[in-house]
Amino acid sequence: MLRLFRPPRWIDWVYPSCTWRFVVSDNTVFLTFDDGPHPDITPFVLEQLVKFNMKATFFCVGENMVRYPELVNAILEQGHRIGNHTMRHTKGTSVTNEEYLQSVQDFDRNFQTGLFRPPYGKMRVSQRRQMKQRFRIIMWSWLSYDYDTTVSVQTILKRAGKIKKGDIIVLHDNPKITERQKELLPLFLQLLQQKNLKSAVIPFSVSDV
């Protein structure tokens, strides 16, 4: 099966209401972690980010934030940022617009942020129209496939050699891939460092880039 680590450039024009990458003047990339927080993996991720002096944006599932508030505090205390990934990791194309909006709003009631990423990267046009009124919708320009065990760590690292400044990178702090992430992440961050790339949090607005 073909794996698109990098979506085609024309996707920026097809979905202009979404942010796929940033134009930056320095060697900044934007690390993001989806699906957490969880005590099995998020503390390790935070430890590695400190070790390599990287900042990241965590697109959290609201239910996990309620369950593990100490991890939410740890993320923020270390200077990272949090984005809305819905309350229940809700897939937009599998529920009604009302159910989707409810999951987003339930998150919003517990933690307010100007950033949103749709779980699975999927939502209907009508849902996207609603989301862009409230959030900056963050997609990605480089998908790690850290969740896909058919893609080896070595393959991911090889393809990561093509990462460049301005890229929005998707990783996961999902407990289902704890052991795999513990193998991948230190090597991945080391590679970025060797490429003289640094990571920053996703800005809330264009003027903050």
CA dihedral 153, 159, 160, 163 (to 10 degrees): -170
Q: Which two tokens stand for residue 105?
A: 């709003």
172 labelled catalytic: yes
Active-site residue identified among 34, 35, 146, 167? 34
Q: Which two tokens stand for residue 117?
A: 């990423």
**Backbone φ, ψ for residue 29 (5° rounding):** -120, 175
Q: Collapsing DSSP states into helix, strand and coil, what is residue 84?
A: strand
Contact indicator for 178, 184 with CB cutoff of 8 Å: no
Active-site residue identified among 38, 80, 85, 172? 172
Element (H, E) at 119: none
d(CA 135, CA 142): 21
208 labelled catalytic: no
d(CA 77, CA 158): 33
Work out the angle between the directed axes of helices 178-194 and 42-51 (0-180°, nearest 10): 20
The catalytic residue positions are: 34, 172
